Amino acid sequence: MALPTLYSFRRCPYAIRSRLALHFADIAVDIHEVSLRDKPAEMIAISPKATVPVLQLSDGTVLEESLDIALWGLRESDPQQLLPSENDLPETLALIAENDGEFKHWLDHYKYATHHPEHSPEYYRQQGEVFLQKLEQRLTENTYLSGSGITLSDIAIVPFVRQFAHVDKRWFDGADYPALQRWLEHWLTSEVFLRVMTKAS
């Protein structure tokens, strides 16, 4: 049986989320690195929205959202128990929704501030910091976002914090977020992260 096909773009935070989840689920996939300027016709045929990630399963089922891909993978196989219990899952999904909604909105404005001249980059950064402060509080109390071990919260959110930090890395490294900085550095230097960030051949 053919492997599931994952259409991905290495630096896209949604695609990173998917690759991390599939890695932790220990599910092998055939990764197709997509050129955003020349999207493959076969991806557009199964997913007209034409944005990565897209996962086509061996039975033809298509998953078009990174969180759906992550949840599918971890429900299929979760050897490290990253998926919260059904009782704890709503809190995890709420935190991820805040990341994907309000925080992603301000992240995009901060990263592409020249496209949003209504306010300064510093203004957009300060709006995004509301979420960073929430993460800092969580990481001051625990090693990871939802406790002492890695969970879906961490793999779903870390790609976006990485992107926010790299808009102005000097500022981020000097900001008063010691717990968040340690958490991010741990992830960025981990074998898992380096492996999933390796460009597909």
Q: Give the CATH number for residue 120.
A: 1.20.1050.10
| Residue 1 in this model has a pLDDT that exceeds 70 | no
Q: How far apart are CA 103 and CA 97, in angstroms?
A: 9
| Same-domain check for residues 75 and 104 | no
pLDDT per position as a tens digit, 39-78: 999 999 999 989 999 999 999 999 999 999 999 999 999 9
Host domain of residue 30: 5-81
Cis-peptide, bond into residue 4, ω within 30° of zero: no
Q: What is the pTM of this model?
A: 0.96
**Last residue of some domain: 81, 113, 139?**
81
Residue 64 CA from chain centroid, whole number: 14
**Last residue of some domain: 46, 81, 116?**
81
| Same-domain check for residues 124 and 48 | no
Contact 195, 23 (CB under 8 A): yes
What does pLDDT average to over the chain? 96
Average pLDDT value for residue range 6-29: 97
Sorting pLDDT into bands at 50, 70 and 90, what band is 37? confident
| Residue 173 in this model has a pLDDT that exceeds 90 | yes
Average pLDDT value for residue range 164-183: 98
Q: Indicate the angle between helix axes 121-141 and 104-111, nearest 10 degrees.
A: 140
**Residue 10: phi, psi to the nearest 5?**
-55, -40
**Last residue of some domain: 53, 81, 109?**
81
CATH of residue 42:
3.40.30.10
Identify whether 128 is part of a domain.
Answer: yes
Identify whether 198 is part of a domain.
Answer: no
| Same-domain check for residues 166 and 116 | yes
Sorting pLDDT into bands at 50, 70 and 90, what band is 2? confident
| Same-domain check for residues 105 and 64 | no
**For the chain, how many structural domains are there in total?**
2
Question: What 3-state class would DSSP assign to 54?
Answer: strand
Q: How far apart are CA 126 and CA 73, in angstroms?
A: 35
In this structure, how many other beta carbons lie within 10 angstroms of the beta carbon of residue 100? 19
